[in-house]
Chain A
C-alpha cells in the first residue's frame, strides 16, 4: 500500500504542533513556578525587613562599641543608611541583592556572601549526615513498630522515640560529650576537626568531609568524621524519632487495607507483604516527612551548634539578629526560604517518580 505523502506530512505537522504546545505549556508552567518563587521570596524579604527594623536593636552600637562619642555614632548611623526612610532602605537593599551584593556583616567584618559560603556548608554537612541517620534508623524502626503493633517492641520504639522527640538537644549534646568524648574517648570534642589539622585544608566545597578527601588527607578526614558523629547522631536522633513515628502511622494505615490481607491469604510471607506491597505505598508520604525534617535541620540548630562549637548557619543567624544586623538576617532568611522551595521541588519530582498515578 502506497503511503500518502500529504498524510505523513500532516501527521508530522500535528506531532510538531503537539510538541510545540507541550513546550509552550511547560514554559508557562516554569514561568508560573518561577514567578511564584520570586514573589514568595520578595514577600519573605519585605516582612523580615520591616519586622527587623521594628526590633529595639541598634546595629550602630554593635559597630562602634559602648564607648564612642555621639559624632561617631551619627556618622556610622549615616554610613549604614539608617537615616533614610524605611522603604528607601528596603529598595536599596533589594537593588543590591539583585546585583548579587548582600552587603557586609557587622559581627564578622566579611561580606555576608563569603560568610554564608563558610557557615552554610558546615550546616549542610551536619544536616545531611543527621538526616541519613534519621532515615536509616527511623524507617526500619517505624515499620517494625507497625508490624509488631502493641507488642514490647512497639512500646520500646515508642518510648525511645518519645525521648528523642522531647529531650532538649542541648542536654543530649552535653550528655553525649560527657559519655562518648570525656569518659569513653570514642569521638572528638567540640569543633569540626582536631586542633592539629585546624588550618591544613583549603576549603573548596566547604564540606570538610569532602575537602579532606579531595586534598588526599585521610587523617583529617577521620578527624572530621570523629567530630561530626556525635552532633549528627544527636540531631539524627530527633529526626529518627519523628520519622519513625510517622512511618509507623502510615504503615498501620496500609496494613489494615484489604490488599494486604489478600496478599497474606495468598500465602506471601509477612516480610514480602510489608516491604514489597505496603511500603511502596507510603513512600510518597514519607518523602514529604523526610523533606520537612531535612529542611528543619538545614535551618541550623542553634543550641546543638553552640554545645559542639559548630561554626554553622543557626548561630550565625542568631548572632546577626542579636546585633541587629539586617544584612545577615535578610540573607539568612532568603537561604531558608530557598531551602524550603528547593526541597519542595525535589519532593514534587520524587512524587512523580514514585507514584505512577501522577505520571
Chain B
C-alpha cells in the first residue's frame, strides 16, 4: 500500500517535472525566508521545557545563549552574551562577564540577574533540560549558592568537581544557556498544583522574552511560525527581515511548493524527493551531519537478549553500507558507536563503523550463545522515517538466521512510555546528545547510576535497557575528570569498543539534516547543532 502510493506520487511528480514545473521563478518575498516544515512537534516555546529539534532550532534564532557555537565549527565556542569568562585555578568557579548595554525587546537591560534567574529556573522546573546542569553536579537545592549574579554584569557558577572546562562550558551554548527577560516574565508567573511557582512556564508556552536576532511574532499550532527581525540586534547585520515557517506535512506537497517557488526551503523531503531535488538544476541540497544516532536497543533483562553473543549476532544483521547507498543515501551515515562522528572522542571512521552484513558471523555468535535454532522476539518502532524501513530490513536479515522478529509499530508517545517502563524486548529509536563530546552519550547510554527498578532512573537509556556493568560506570566517570585531552580520548576509544561488544544498543546510522532549497537561497549555514537563519541571503 505504502510502496504503491509512493510510486504513484513519484510518477505524478515526474510528470510535473517533465512539464517544466521546476523552471518557475521564486515567488516568495525578497526579504523573507519561507520554509515548509512539519511543525506538529512544537508544544511550547519555553526554553526550559523544549525537547525536540523543531522548536530548538526556532528558539535558537530568537534567543542568544551566553556562549555561541561558531557558525562553521560546532566544536568551537565563541563569546555570546558573555563577552569573556575565566575559570578559577581549582577548576570549580566559572566567572562570566556579560556584554554591557544590551537591551531585551521590552527595553529592559540584559543583566547578570536575568542570567542567574534563567539558569536557576531550568533546574527548578526539572524538565529534561535540567539534566544538562544536574549532570555536572548543579542542583535545584543548591542553585542559590551555585549560580549567582555578583553584580549587574558578572555571573558566577560554582561546580562541585573540576570538570574539563571545554566539557562543562558546552552547557551554556544551548537553550538552557539563554538569558531570558526576567522583569518581563515575572508578572506572568503562576502557581503550580503543588504550590511552587512555575517561573513563567505557562506564559512562555506561547511567548518568548529574550535578546536575539529575531522575535517570535506568531505561532499558530500546526499552521505557521513567523519570526520578525530584531531591528536593534547587537550581533550585526541580519539580511532576512522575516522567517516564515509554513506547516506542510507531505513530502510531495513540499517538493511541489519548492519547485513552484512558493517556498525557499523544504525540510521534510523523503528519499525520492531528495533525489529529485539533487538532480534539479534550479534546486539544491545542503546537508550537515547531526549527532543524532539511530539504534536498536535490547532489554538486558530478557533471557535471550541479555546474552552478549546474541546482540553481537544482531549487529551483523544490518547491511549498513548497502542502506547508506539506498534508503539512507541523503539522510544518514552508517555508524556503530555511541560517540557520533564529529564529537570529541569519537572513534576514527574505520573503527566507528566496525560491522557489516555478515550472515555467517551472525550464525556463529548465535551458536556460541546456544541459540543456533533461532528464537522469536518483538521489535517496536515509531512511524517516522527511517524507523519502518530499517526495522523491516533488520527483520528480513534476522529471518535468515532463524530469528523471527515480530514488528510492532506505534505512536512515539506510546513508544517512549513503554521504554520508560522497561516494557520492551527490542526497540528502534533515535537519540541526540546535548553537546559534541563522547561524554554526552556515555553519561546516558553507558553509565547507569542505579539499576534497581524502583530507582526509576528513566532519563538514562542504560537504566531503561537494564544495562549495569561496574567497569563501564567507573570508566565513564573517570573519563570526564581527565584534563589531558589525549588521555581522555584514548579512554573513550576503549569504552566505545568494549561497548560495541557488551552494550545493549546496536547503533546503525547517524542522521544528516538535509535542507532542500532553491538556488537563490545562499549562506543558510547549519551544522550538527544549529541552523543559522541570520546568515541567509537571497
Contact = CB atoms under 8 A, between A and B. Distances in A.
A122 to B, nearest CB: 9
Nearest to B417: A58
Contacts of B193: 78-79
B29 A195 contact: yes
B77 interface: no
A191 interface: yes
Given A61-B413, A73-B458, A191-B248, A177 B40 contact: no
A65 B434 CA distance: 14
B128 A66 contact: yes
A190 B403 CA distance: 45
Most chain A Cβ neighbours within 10 Å, of B125, B259, B411: B411
Contacts of B206: 109-110
B5 A64 contact: no
Interface stretch (A27-35, A142-150, A308-316): A308-316
B126 A178 contact: no
A66 to B, nearest CB: 5
Given A64-B128, A78-B194, A178-B13, A109 B43 contact: yes
Nearest to A78: B193
B222 A183 contact: no
Nearest to A196: B29
Contacts of A309: 36, 246-250, 253
Contacts of A179: 12, 16
Interface residues of A, number: 59
Interface in B217-251: 217-218, 220-224, 226, 244, 246-250
Nearest to B132: A67
B442 interface: no
A67 B413 contact: no
Interface string A186-214: 00011100111011000000000000000
Contact of A199 (B36, B226, B259, B411): B226
A56 interface: yes
Nearest to A122: B223
Contacts of B51: 64-68
Given A182-B259, A196-B29, A199-B218, A70 B458 contact: yes
Contacts of A72: 125-128, 130
A169 B225 CA distance: 28
A287 interface: no
Given A108-B221, A181-B256, A79 B192 contact: yes
Interface in B243-297: 244, 246-250, 252-253, 256-257, 259-260, 262-263
B413 A65 contact: no
B473 interface: no
Contacts of B471: none
A324 B457 contact: no
Contacts of B406: none
Nearest to A194: B262
B221 A189 contact: no
Contacts of A105: 221
Interface string B109-147: 000000000000000011111110000000000000000
Given A75-B194, A322-B413, A311 B222 contact: yes
B131 A174 contact: no
Interface string B26-61: 001100101010001001100001011000000000
Interface in A293-335: 306-309, 311, 315-316, 319, 322-324
B260 A69 contact: no
A118 B223 CA distance: 11
A170 B253 CA distance: 11
Contacts, number: 180
A43 to B, nearest CB: 27
Contacts of A118: 220
Given A56-B414, A58-B413, A311 B223 contact: yes
Contact of A171 (B5, B128, B247, B414): B5
Nearest to A119: B222
A306 B5 CA distance: 15
A23 interface: no
A78 B52 CA distance: 23
B252 A174 contact: yes
A197 B417 CA distance: 41
B22 to A, nearest CB: 9
Given A58-B414, A115-B221, A190-B257, A174 B250 contact: yes
Contacts of B194: 75, 78
B419 to A, nearest CB: 8
Contacts of A108: 43, 221-222
Interface of A: 56-73, 75, 78-79, 105-110, 115, 118, 170-171, 174-175, 177-179, 181-183, 185, 189-191, 194-196, 198-199, 306-309, 311, 315-316, 319, 322-324
The 8 closest A-B pairs by CB, nearest first: A67-B128, A65-B51, A108-B221, A109-B205, A58-B417, A70-B456, A311-B223, A182-B21
25 contacts: A57-B411, A60-B417, A66-B128, A67-B51, A68-B51, A69-B459, A70-B459, A72-B126, A79-B193, A107-B40, A107-B43, A110-B206, A118-B220, A171-B8, A175-B8, A179-B16, A182-B16, A182-B259, A182-B260, A190-B246, A195-B34, A307-B253, A308-B253, A322-B413, A323-B413
